[in-house]
A and B are shown apart, each in its own frame.
Chain A
């Protein structure tokens, strides 16, 4: 037993820099696999609706704009999004049509400001390399 065993540690910390950063002026870097907000590459989406089915927060809607022209609209309700990235996981296209960005300052004054929309034409489903014959690949 020793009185004030913590004292040397406290004194040492008097001369150390603070452990925190000066936040609004200096920002911490997020890791490269950080899960930010999902966004769409409209040219890659094949409208399979796997993301809509698997989203636990029901934050993704795919609406049909024009069936004949194969025009669709994806709405991501970021006010409901829980940033789990399951939509990216479920996306079956080869370069993923959905991706997560690295933004973490996503506060807004209204929940409607958080809504994001993309209107696009459905992408062609590419045949798989293993399953497709050489002629089918040549066509695509």
Chain B
């Protein structure tokens, strides 16, 4: 006998609104259905109303955790459109913040993974260590979450020697802690037993379903935009793409800890080889009619921005493909044949960011299960018709 259990859109296991419908046989998940559209904010439309410069702050607010990813992806796209080249120091500083953001995002995720696996001590420790990175980011950019360090043609702030030294000192601490967590992973049998073999995603499936980021890399696919299609200064930075072969949640933990180590090395390289010079060049207010696709390796995977300009000071179209959206099809496969108790762990393992991924409105017919995409005007028409046919409510009272 099969049951369908809806989880969400509001559920304690999920931090953000998303609806999962699980078809169950006893404790085993036979099929999963992910339904989106609970967190749609119309940011792409908003971007068409704002100037190129204002849109940096709009794209930054697509997501809180990968705010710099979206802003950088957008900025480097617009810089291509405007045909300006940021100075080298500006690029180094921009991607210094990007790598610091990757460190903070991965530390946050490690904590969440520990929490979902019932290892709350781990959660407390990683989140305490994450504060070190947050403090660095606050010192460098002036804020903890929305760094706002990007501008068209470079970055807005420079760093001095004192800040450089502070970052390097903090890096030592973080590196020590991450090595400790890596050791814990190998030595703590209860934690490893909980996450090993959970949420299997074979290499073939990951390739076929276009998984991105650490989810793909944990399935032994060496795929990283920083390596495959280097942007910024990544072509001259030595680093390795972290992969794991176990294809499960354990692999995703290992990949993220390894990536932390790589990020520390990159940060150190950037600070030690920081070139002198200006941090930004002047950007024009308009861009010639053209279109561009900008790729960026966000902490969660490949982030894509498509930007079209029409010669004015506003974009004609901005399309955002957040990494979480690319990982949803793979999540369905991961959930299949797993247990109910593994849902939060598997779902957390793709590091879902719902607010990044909400881009379309899809209506679901509750009775027939039909789905369709509707326009706002259509919805309004339907509402009017329904209201006309509805009987007059006689017992309705004014609530005061």
Contact = CB atoms under 8 A, between A and B. Distances in A.
A6 B189 contact: no
Interface stretch (B89-97, B136-144, B363-371): B136-144
Contact of A6 (B53, B58, B151, B188): B188
Contact of B121 (A10, A19, A35, A56): A10
Contact of B53 (A2, A9, A19, A54): A54
Contact of B187 (A5, A85, A89): A5
Interface residues of A, number: 26
Contact of A31 (B56, B58, B142, B156): B142
A3 interface: yes
Contacts of A83: 143, 146
Contact of B148 (A2, A5, A6, A84): A84
Contacts of A64: none
Contacts of B141: 33
A34 interface: yes
Contact of A5 (B55, B125, B139, B184): B184
Contacts, number: 64
Interface of B: 50-51, 53-58, 61, 121-122, 125, 128, 131, 138-139, 141-143, 146, 148, 151, 156-157, 180, 183-184, 187-189
A62 interface: no
A5 B188 contact: yes
Nearest to A57: B57
Given A30-B138, A33-B139, A82 B146 contact: yes
A30 B306 CA distance: 37
Interface string A14-54: 00000100000000001101110000000000000000011
Contact of A56 (B50, B183, B184): B50
Nearest to B136: A31
B343 to A, nearest CB: 25
Given A30-B138, A56-B50, A84 B57 contact: yes
A39 to B, nearest CB: 15
A92 to B, nearest CB: 13
Given A19-B131, A54-B53, A35 B188 contact: no
Given A56-B57, A89-B151, A84 B138 contact: no
A93 interface: no
B128 A89 contact: no
A52 B54 CA distance: 11
A31 B139 CA distance: 6
Contact of B142 (A6, A35, A86): A35
